[in-house]
Structure 1
Amino acid sequence: MSPVAQQAWTWFKRLAPWALAALVLALVARQARTVEWPAVWLALQALSIVQLLTAAGLALLSYGLVASFDLIGRRLTGHTLSAPRTLATAAISYAFNLNFGALVGGFGLRLRLYMRGGLSAPTVAQVIAHSMVTNWLGYLWVGGVVLLWAPPRLTGDWAQSDIALRAIGAAMIALALVYLALCGWSRQRELSWHGHTLALPGGRVALLQALLGGASWLLIGAIAWSLFGTRIDYPAVLGALLLAAVAGVLTHVPAGLGVLEAVFVATLGNRLPATEVLATVLAYRAAYYLMPLALALPAYAWSEAAARRGRRAE
C-alpha cells in the first residue's frame, strides 16, 4: 500500500465510526419529532402487571447470568477473590455500565471494586477482557443466526436488503467459529491487538463462553418479548434488540438513550403502531436498566461505607 493510500485508510478508520454515529443520531432525532408522546403514555398504562413482573424477574435472572461471565475470568486468571464477591462486583458494575457507559461501569467501577479486593490492575484487565469476549462471542453467533434465519424488516431510512443482512449474519457466525477454532487448535495461545494481549482459553472454556454469551442475549431478548406479549414474534424482537445494541455502541450514548427506542420503532413499526412500540421499549428500559440500577446504587454505597470503616479500623 502506498503512503498516500495508507494515510487515507488511517483517516477513514478514524472518521468512519464518528460519521456512522452522527448518521444514527440524526435518524434518532428525526424519529423523535414524529412521535405522539401522549399516546405513548396511554399505551404504557395498558401493560399488565403480569407482563411487568415477568420482565423484572427475567431482568434479575439476566444480570445473574451476565455476572457469571466474570467467573470465567476468575478461573482463567486464578485470582482468589471469592465467587460471591466476584458475582456482586460484576452485577453492580454491569448496572452502572448499562446506564452510564463502559468507562464508568465496565472499566472504572470494576477496577475500583476489584482492586479493593486485592486484585492487581493487569488481572482486572484480563477479567474484563474475558467478560467482553464472552458477551460479544454470544452476540456474534446469536446475531448471525437471527440475520440468516429471520433478518429484521427495517423501514424508512434504516432499510437494508435481506441479502446484505444475511451476508453480515454469515460473517458474524464465521468470526465466532474462528475464535472457537483458535482456542481449540491454535498453537499460539495469545491474541494481540494494538499492544494489548489476551490469553486464549482452552476449547471447552471457549465453548462455555459461547453458550453463556448466547444465552445472555437470548434472555435479554425474552425480557423485551415478554412485554410485547403475543403481538410480535420472538425472533423479530430479538433482531431489533441486537441491532439496537450495536447502534448504541456506535453512538457512544450512555444507556443508548433514544437510540434503543428509535431502532425498535424502525424495526417493528410496520407491525405495531409506533406509540405501542415506544411504550413497550420504555417499560423494557425500566425493567432492564433502571430497576437493576436502583439495586446497584445502594449496594455500591454500602461497599464504599464498608471500605471506609475498614480503613478507620486499621
Structure 2
Amino acid sequence: MDSGRPKPAKLRLWGRRILTAAFLLLVAWLLVTHARRTDWDAVWTALAGYDLAQIMIACVLAAGSYMAYASYDLFGRYYVGHGITASRTMSIAFICCAFTLNLGALIGSIGFRYKLYSQRGVRKGDVAHIVGMSITTNWLGYGLLAGLVFLSGSFRFPTGWIASDALTNLLGVALVAVVVAYWLLCIFAKKRSWDIRGQVITLPSIRIALLQITASAAHWLFMGGVIFVFLYGQVGYFSLLGVLLLSSIAGIIAHVPGALGVLEAVFLALLADTVAPAQLLAALIAYRAVFYLLPLLVAVVAYVLNEVSVKRTKSSR
C-alpha cells in the first residue's frame, strides 16, 4: 500500500479550497474593475437622492422579510414541542437571522440558536432539530422561487456568457423537482422517520410543508423588494430576484460573512449593462444599510435585553 498517496477526503478539501480561492479572486477582479470605472460622486449623489418615502417602504419590506424568516422557528417549535412562547421564539429567530446575514451561519444560525434556546431549557438535540427545520424551510422556498424564475424566462444571463437558456431551464426544472419531491414525500411516504447518526428526522405533514414554503418564499420576495425599491424599477422584479438568488449562492460558495463584495460583484456582472453602475452601487449600499446593518443594530439591542432578562430570572430563583 502506498501510504504517501493523498486520501480522497484531503483531495476534496484542497479542491474546495482552490475553487473558493479562484472564485474570490474572480470576485476581487470584478470589484476592482468596476470600482475603477465608477463615478463615485455619482454614487453619493444617487444615495442622497433617495427620499424618506422610499426608505420607509424599503424598511417595511425588510421588516416583512425578517418576520417571515422569524416564523421558520415556529415550525421548529411545533416539531420539537418546546414550551417557549411563539413571540419569544420569533424574537430568537430574528436575532439569529440578523447575525447570520452579517456574520455567517455558523455564528448566527447555529451559535446563537444554541445559546438562546439552551438558556431557556431546550435540549441540544432539540436545538439541532430547530436549526435543521429552519435551514430546510429557507432552502425549500428558495428552490421553488429560483426554479420558477429560471423557467419563466424573466431571468437571462448577459449575452456572451457560457450559460444558455437551455441550461437555465434545466436548472429551473431541477429546483422545482426537488420541492415537488419533498411535497410528495410528505404526502405519500409510509416511513415518516429516519435515525441518522443518533438524530431522528421526521417528515412534517403536507400542511406544515406548504406553510414552510410559503414563509420562505415570502422572505425571499420581500428581500428582493428592498433592492427593487432602491432601483426605481429599472429592472424587472423577477429578473432582479433571479440575480439576488444567484448572489446568495455565490456568497455561500465564497464563505464571506454577509456576502460582502460577492453580492456587489454578482449584481455588477449581471446588471451593469442594464443599470448605470453608479445607480446600482447606490442601491446596493442602501440595501445593505436597510437590510443588514439596521436589523443588526436592533438585534444587538434585543440580544442585550434577552441577556438581562435571563440574568434577572436566574437571580430571582
Shared fold, TM over 0.5: yes
1:264 partner amino acid: F
Please state whether the residue corresponding to 2:201 is helix, strand or coil: strand
Aligned pair 1:69/2:72, yes or no?
yes
Aligned length: 308
Name the CA distance, whole Å, in 2 between partners of 1:85 and 1:139. 26
CA RMSD, 1 decimal? 2.2
- Structure 1's consecutive aligned runs of 4 or more residues displaced over 4 angstroms after TM superposition are 7-13, 155-159, 191-197
Distance 1:116 1:180, change over 3 A: same
Counterpart pick for 1:302 among 298, 301, 305: 305
The equivalent of 2:88 in structure 1 is 85
Counterpart pick for 1:201 among 200, 204, 212: 204
Query: How do 1:32-71 and structure 2 match up within 5 A?
Result: 32-34=31-33, 35=35, 36=38, 37-71=40-74
TM-score in terms of structure 2 length: 0.90
How high is the sequence identity, in percent, across the aligned residues? Answer: 38
The equivalent of 2:139 in structure 1 is 136
Name the CA distance, whole Å, in 2 between partners of 1:151 and 1:49. 30
The equivalent of 2:103 in structure 1 is 100
The equivalent of 2:22 in structure 1 is 23
1:248 partner amino acid: G
Structure 2 unaligned regions, length at least 5: 1-5
Counterpart pick for 1:260 among 250, 263, 267: 263
Q: Deviations over 1:150-192 (max 9, x none)?
A: 3634348965222212111111111111111111111222356
Please state whether the residue corresponding to 2:44 is helix, strand or coil: helix
Aligned pair 1:220/2:219, yes or no?
no
CA shift for structure 1 position 142: 0.3
TM-score in terms of structure 1 length: 0.91
CA shift for structure 1 position 111: 0.9
Name the CA distance, whole Å, in 1 between partners of 2:11 and 2:222. 36
The equivalent of 2:193 in structure 1 is 190
The equivalent of 1:274 in structure 2 is 277
Name the CA distance, whole Å, in 2 between partners of 1:159 and 1:286. 33
Please state whether the residue corresponding to 2:274 is helix, strand or coil: coil
Contact 2:65–2:218 (8 Å) recurs in 1: no
Name the CA distance, whole Å, in 1 between partners of 2:57 and 2:46. 18
Please state whether the residue corresponding to 1:29 is helix, strand or coil: helix
Q: Deviations over 1:235-293 (max 9, x none)?
A: 11101110011111111100000011111111111101122111101111111111111
1:309 partner amino acid: R
Distance 1:40 1:204, change over 3 A: same
CA shift for structure 1 position 46: 2.2
Contact 1:153–1:268 (8 Å) recurs in 2: no
Q: Deviations over 1:189-210 (max 9, x none)?
A: 2356677552111122112112
Structure 1 unaligned regions, length at least 5: 1-6
Please state whether the residue corresponding to 1:33 is helix, strand or coil: helix
Name the CA distance, whole Å, in 1 between partners of 2:188 and 2:133. 19
Distance 1:196 1:21, change over 3 A: farther
Name the CA distance, whole Å, in 2 between partners of 1:192 and 1:13. 27
Contact 1:67–1:88 (8 Å) recurs in 2: yes
1:212 partner amino acid: A
Distance 1:15 1:141, change over 3 A: farther
CA shift for structure 1 position 38: 3.6
Q: Which moved further from structure 2: 249-258 or 217-226?
A: 217-226
Q: Which moved further from structure 2: 255-264 or 41-50?
A: 41-50
Name the CA distance, whole Å, in 1 between partners of 2:16 and 2:197. 18
The equivalent of 1:150 in structure 2 is 153
Contact 1:129–1:198 (8 Å) recurs in 2: no
CA shift for structure 1 position 77: 1.2
Query: How do 1:110-125 and structure 2 match up within 5 A?
Result: 110-125=113-128
Name the CA distance, whole Å, in 2 between partners of 1:183 and 1:46. 49
